[in-house]
Chain A
Amino acid sequence: MILGRSQDDVVWKRWKEVDAIFAKALEFPEAARHRFVSDTCGEDLELFRSVTSLLADAEALPETPTGPGLNLLRGWVGERKVGEKPDVGLRPGDVVERYRITGELGRGGVATVFEAERADEVYTRKVALKVLRRGMDTEEVVRRFHDEREILSSLAHPNVASLLDGGTTADGRPFLVMQKVEGEPITSWADARDLDLTARLGLFLQVADAVAFAHRRLVVHRDIKPSNVLVNAQGRAILLDFGIARLVDPVEGRQRELTRAGSRLLTPEYASPEQARGEAVTTVSDVYQLGALLYLLLTGRRPFPATGAGIDAVAGRGRPVPPSEAVDPTVSVKRGALKGDLDTILLKTMRPEAEERYGSAEALADDIRRYLEGRPIAARRPSVGYRVRKFVRRNPWFPAVAAGVVLAIAGYVGTLEVQSRRLELERNEARLQAERAEQIKGFLVDLFRAADPYDAPDPARSRQITVVEALDLGAERARTELADRPFLRADLLSSIATVYDRMDLRDPALALLAEAMEVRSDTGEERSLEQLADLGRTASILARAGQLDSAEVLERKRLALARADPAGTPQVANALLGLGSIHQAAARREDSLADRIEAVRILRSLGAGGRGALADALSALADSYRLLDRLDEAEAAAREGVAIHRRLSGAQHPRTVLAEVHLAQLQHARGRLDDAAELYRNAVPSLEASLGPLHFNTINSLNNLAIVLSDAGDVSGAEETHRQVLARRRRVPGGDTLAVAASLQNLAATVLLQDRLEEADSLAIEAAKLYGQRLRPGHPQTAFPLLTRTQIALKRGDGGGAEQLARQASAILEGVLPDEHFATATAHCRTGAALALQGRLADAAPLIRDGLAALEASEQAPARLVEECRQAMDALDP
Chain B
Amino acid sequence: MADSTGSITRLVQQWSDGEDGALDALVHLVYDDLRVIAHHHLRTMEDDSTLHTTALVHETYLRLDGVHGGAWKSRGHFFAFCSTAMRRVLIDYARRHQAAKRGRERTRVPLEEVPGPFDAEVVQVLAVDEALRRLVKHDERMATIVECRFFGGLTVAETAEALEVSTRSIEREWARARVYLHRLLEPGSERT
Contacts and interface: CB of A to CB of B under 8 A. Distances in A.
A and B interact physically: yes
Interface of A: 1-6, 8, 11-12, 15, 19, 22-23, 26-27, 54, 57-58, 61, 67-73, 76-77, 81-83, 85-86, 107-110, 133, 264-265
Interface of B is mostly: helix
A5 to B, nearest CB: 5
B19 interface: no
Interface string B121-157: 1011101100000000011000000000111110100
Contacts of B125: 70
Contacts of B74: none
Q: Counting chain A CB atoms within 10 Å of each CB, which of B120, B123, B175, B181 scores highest?
A: B175
A72 B146 CA distance: 11
A82 B130 CA distance: 11
Q: Would you list the 6 A-B pairs with minimal beta carbon distance, nearest first?
A: A109-B191, A4-B191, A69-B153, A69-B53, A82-B127, A108-B192
B123 A81 contact: yes
A27 B176 CA distance: 11
Contact of A85 (B175, B179, B185, B188): B188
B181 to A, nearest CB: 8
24 contacts: A2-B192, A3-B191, A4-B189, A5-B189, A19-B138, A23-B176, A26-B172, A26-B175, A27-B172, A57-B179, A69-B51, A70-B53, A73-B124, A76-B182, A76-B185, A81-B124, A82-B128, A82-B185, A86-B189, A107-B192, A108-B191, A109-B189, A110-B191, A133-B189
Contact of A6 (B150, B176, B190): B190
A83 B153 CA distance: 22
B54 interface: yes
A81 B155 CA distance: 24
Nearest to B53: A69
A5 B188 contact: yes
Interface in B49-93: 50-54
Nearest to B185: A82
Contacts of B151: 69
A8 B183 contact: yes
A69 B125 CA distance: 11
B122 to A, nearest CB: 10
B175 A86 contact: no
B32 interface: no
Q: Counting chain A CB atoms within 10 Å of each CB, which of B52, B120, B172, B192 scores highest?
A: B192
B169 to A, nearest CB: 11
Contacts of B188: 5, 85-86
Contacts of A15: 138-139
Contacts of B139: 15, 19
Interface string B155-180: 10000000000000000100110111
A86 B124 contact: no
Nearest to B156: A65
Contact of B182 (A1, A19, A70, A77): A77
B59 to A, nearest CB: 13
Given A3-B191, A71-B50, A12 B138 contact: yes
Interface residues of B, number: 37
Contacts of A73: 124, 128, 150, 185
A812 to B, nearest CB: 37
Contacts of B128: 73, 82
Contacts of B175: 26, 58
B186 interface: yes
Contact of B192 (A22, A85, A109): A109
Contacts of A133: 189
A83 B182 contact: no
Nearest to B134: A12
B187 interface: yes
Nearest to A83: B127
B152 to A, nearest CB: 8
A323 to B, nearest CB: 28
A5 B191 contact: yes
Contacts of B121: 70
A77 B187 CA distance: 12
Contact of A77 (B138, B153, B185): B185
A67 B54 CA distance: 10
B192 A1 contact: yes
A686 B76 CA distance: 82
A600 B175 CA distance: 55
Interface string B9-42: 0000000000000000000000000000000000
A68 B124 contact: no
Nearest to B56: A69
Contact of B51 (A5, A26, A57, A70): A70
Given A12-B138, A72-B149, A54 B179 contact: yes
Contacts of B52: 68-69
A248 B83 CA distance: 37
Contact of A68 (B54, B138, B176, B181): B54
B129 to A, nearest CB: 11
Given A82-B127, A82-B185, A22 B176 contact: yes
Nearest to A135: B186
A171 to B, nearest CB: 15
A4 B50 contact: no
Contact of B176 (A19, A69, A264): A19
A603 B172 CA distance: 56
A85 B123 CA distance: 13
B50 to A, nearest CB: 6
A11 B183 contact: yes
A5 B187 contact: yes
A730 to B, nearest CB: 52
Contacts of B53: 68-70
Contacts of A83: 123, 127, 185
A5 B178 CA distance: 16
Contacts of B178: 58, 61, 72, 76
Nearest to A71: B50
Nearest to B57: A69
A82 B190 contact: no
Given A68-B52, A76-B182, A109 B190 contact: yes
A27 B169 CA distance: 12
A6 B183 CA distance: 11
Given A2-B190, A3-B191, A23-B176, 5 more contacts: A58-B178, A81-B123, A82-B124, A107-B192, A133-B189
Contacts of A77: 182, 185-186
A264 B191 contact: yes
B153 A61 contact: no
Nearest to B188: A5
A15 B180 CA distance: 11
Given A77-B186, A82-B128, A110-B191, A69 B150 contact: yes
Q: Counting chain A CB atoms within 10 Å of each CB, which of B150, B182, B186 scores highest?
A: B186
A109 B183 CA distance: 14
A4 B187 CA distance: 10
A70 B179 contact: no
Given A15-B138, A68-B52, A68-B54, A61 B179 contact: yes
A4 B190 contact: yes
Nearest to A133: B189
Contacts of A1: 192
Contacts of A4: 189-191
A70 B176 contact: no
A354 B109 CA distance: 67
Contacts of B179: 22, 54, 57-58, 61
A663 to B, nearest CB: 57
Contacts of A2: 190-192
Given A11-B183, A77-B182, A81-B120, A26 B191 contact: no
A289 to B, nearest CB: 17
B52 to A, nearest CB: 6
Contacts of A12: 138
Nearest to A57: B179
Contacts of B50: 67, 70-71
A493 B139 CA distance: 47
A842 to B, nearest CB: 55
